Amino acid sequence: MAQQKHSHNREEEANFEIQSTRIERKTAKTITIVFLALIAIVPLVDLFVSSFSYQVPSDTTGGDSSQGVWSEVVAGNNRLIEARKSFESELEKASFLRDVFPSPFQWFLTRYLRTGNEKAIMGREGWWFYDKDIQYVTGKPFLQYREQAGKDPVAAITDFSRQLEERGIRLVVMPVPVKPMLYPEMLSGSCADSVSTVQNASYRTFLSELQAQGILVFDPTSILQRLKAAGIASYLKTDTHWTPEGMEAVADSLVHLLVSEGLMSYGAAGYLRRSTPVDHLGDIYTMLEYSGRTPLASSEQVDTHPVTDAMGNVWMPDPYASCLFLGDSFSNIYSLNGLGWGYGAGFAEQLSYLLQQPVDAIRRNDEGSIATRKMLSNEMERGVDRLANKSVVVWEFSMRELSFGNWTPIAMSLGEPHESDFLNLQPGDSIVVSAYIAARSASPDPQEVTYSDHVITLHLTDICSEDHSVEQAQAVVYLLGMKDRRLTDAAFLRQGETIRIVLKSWSDYEAQMGGLNRNELDDVMLQLEVPVWGELCP
């Protein structure tokens, strides 16, 4: 009888190689000493070079003794654990070596090894790609996870469409292709002759299921592909997003669809458009976290077209318009200054200009699958009917969201306006106050988030203004936690601190800051309060 051949698995092979490896005592001793030295040098260098001003929050001790000794011990232990985690996090962020070494190391990886990092993937001819975009195209069919909670885009879109239809509003879904779909040849030489796009295996089924439900889908992929075939770049080299030419071609096609379907008509609002050149390195480049003086990529120059009204004022969303546009960073890319590509020239602006009609817009960078729906739902629950007088809602999101987004259905129920003791400032108002931080959202991690600017949220109580016009009030406050990928002083605030801060009307800042990524408070009821904008006093 023939002997059956045994094939070793990787673990068996690794164990066999380890057992057969022989290292001289002198070599082993040297390696051990070097290893221990490398481990020890990090805290030693930081101890003598870095400045640690972090203090354990004052609320890590003490508690409510009325709850009993054991409850007080447990609560104190939980506060101590949170303080330890926070302290370790601040030590890491303040690390001298973390500031010094990443840039030279990234320069070496990019210059000589032609690679980026876990987020930014270096392609051919100066093209850069976002890792999640590549994963969407090459990964598993996204609909195979639809049985998991929040992973069925068809169910979420259908539910949203049904709620809008009950109010006589038509939904238009606009999934925007990711860059690897249009430029696969810049990732792989085997795609050099390709004239078609690549796509996730579930996408055709996704489209057919939505169309079977009577939902209107506007897919701009073919428009962008035709633009590319004509020799016009439809996507930016160093950014995840489309070029102004690509965006405007898509906006023009969408307008024709809306008019042909009888959902919108051309008006005579008098909007104007001018040409403004912008020179910038995109968001994928910033993901490298390279802060050296010598750029690792060439900046790009594009011509944007900011939109103004007849009086020259920068275009603003109109809550009374018949069209509501929900969009992510693809709509913000040329609209928000914080993204580096100018302002006032985004997708909603171009849509309004081409229609010569006002357009309402709710936009938020990233999480296009849920962020704008949640913002709309919160307004509705506060009793603000953002869907009043609307005939059409255009919902734009990146196709990568089909694989990685949160597709939890959200109710669009109109609540009753309620009396609130939270501070609500009027446009133009500005007051200097002292206040107690009752709660705060998490701070962004510059190494994890995609965009360079980020907003955090505070719940302030015991608010007292310096002019004594406000006493013992409370407020939900938005403020910058990160600017140009550097944490601000606000990011290091702690629950239990008393601070001095300037509070202003959120309506004065919503157009500029509302589209930035934002960390919200955990308390859902606080998310329903009208916020204010804050800036820490020096």
At 90-127, the pLDDT tens digits run 555 555 555 565 666 666 667 666 777 788 898 988 89
Question: Which pLDDT belongs to residue 89?
Answer: 59
Phi, psi of 318 (to 5 degrees): -115, 110
pTM of this structure: 0.76
Q: What is the DSSP string of 469-513?
A: SS-SEEEEEEEEEEETTEE-GGGG--TT-EEEEEEEEGGGTHHHH
Please state the separation of Cα 13 from the chain's center in Å.
43
Give CA–CA dist 114/104, Å, rounded. Answer: 14
Q: How far is CA 350 from the centre of its chain?
A: 22
Lowest-pLDDT range of 55-59, 154-158, 244-248:
55-59
**Cβ–Cβ under 8 Å, residues 310 and 272:** yes
Q: Between helices 244-260 and 221-229, what is the axis angle to 10°?
A: 130
DSSP string covering 132-182: HHHHHHHS--GGGGTTSTT--HHHHHHHHHHHHHTTT-EEEEEEEPPHHHH
Name the one residue in this structure whose structure tokens are 């009086």.
311
> Which residue is listed with tokens 């000794």?
69
Residue at token pair 């939904």:
171
* Distance in angstroms (rounded) separating the CA atoms of residues 290 and 120: 11
Q: What angle do CA 399, 404, 407 make, to 5 degrees?
A: 85
Can you tell me the distance from the alpha carbon of 521 to that of 519, in angstroms, rounded to the nearest whole number? 7
More confident residue, 17 or 309: 309
Each residue's pLDDT tens digit, 178-193: 999 999 999 876 665 5
Q: What's residue 197's pLDDT?
A: 79
Q: Kindly report, residue by residue over 321-336, the tens digit of the pLDDT.
A: 999 999 999 999 999 8
Give SS3 for 393: strand
Q: At residue 378, what are phi and psi to the nearest 5 degrees?
A: -60, -40
Distance CA 40, CA 203 (A): 51
Radius of gyration of the chain (CA): 27
pLDDT band of residue 77 (cuts 50, 70, 90) is confident
Residue with the bigger pLDDT between 294 and 50: it is 294
Return the DSSP state at 337. G
- Angle of helix 153-165 relative to helix 203-212, nearest 10 degrees, comes to 20
Contact 481, 519 (CB under 8 A): yes
b/e 365-400 (16+ beta carbons within 10 angstroms → b): bbbbbbbbbbbbbbbbbbebebbeebbbbbbbbbbb
Range from 52-56, 375-379, 386-390, 394-398 carrying the lowest mean pLDDT: 52-56
According to DSSP, the β-strands at 276-280 and 300-304 are antiparallel
pLDDT per position as a tens digit, 229-248? 999 999 999 999 999 999 99
| The pLDDT of residue 354 is above 70 | yes
Q: Which helix (H) or strand (E) element contains residue 91?
A: helix 69-93
Considering only 111-115, 381-385, 513-517, which range has the smallest mean pLDDT? 111-115
Q: What distance in Å separates the CA atoms of residue 248 and residue 10, rounded to the nearest whole number?
A: 52
Using a 10 angstrom Cβ sphere, with 0-12 exposed, 13-18 middle and 19 or more buried, the burial of residue 456 is buried
- According to DSSP, residue 265 is labeled -
Please give the biggest Cα pair distance in the chain.
98
What is the structure's pLDDT at 46? 63
Per-residue pLDDT at 25 exceeds 90: no
Beta-strand relationship, 473-483 and 486-487: antiparallel
Average pLDDT over residues 210-237: 96
Distances in Å between the Cα of 422 and the Cα atoms of 95, 419, 470 are 39, 9, 11
Q: Which residue is listed with tokens 């050296």?
A: 292
Average per-residue pLDDT for the chain: 85
Which of 302, 174, 328 has its CA nearest to residue 238?
302
Query: pLDDT tens, 450-504?
Result: 788 889 999 999 899 888 888 888 999 999 999 887 889 998 888 888 899 999 9
Confidence of residue 514 (pLDDT cuts 50, 70, 90): confident
Which residues is 301 bridged to in the sheet?
A: 279
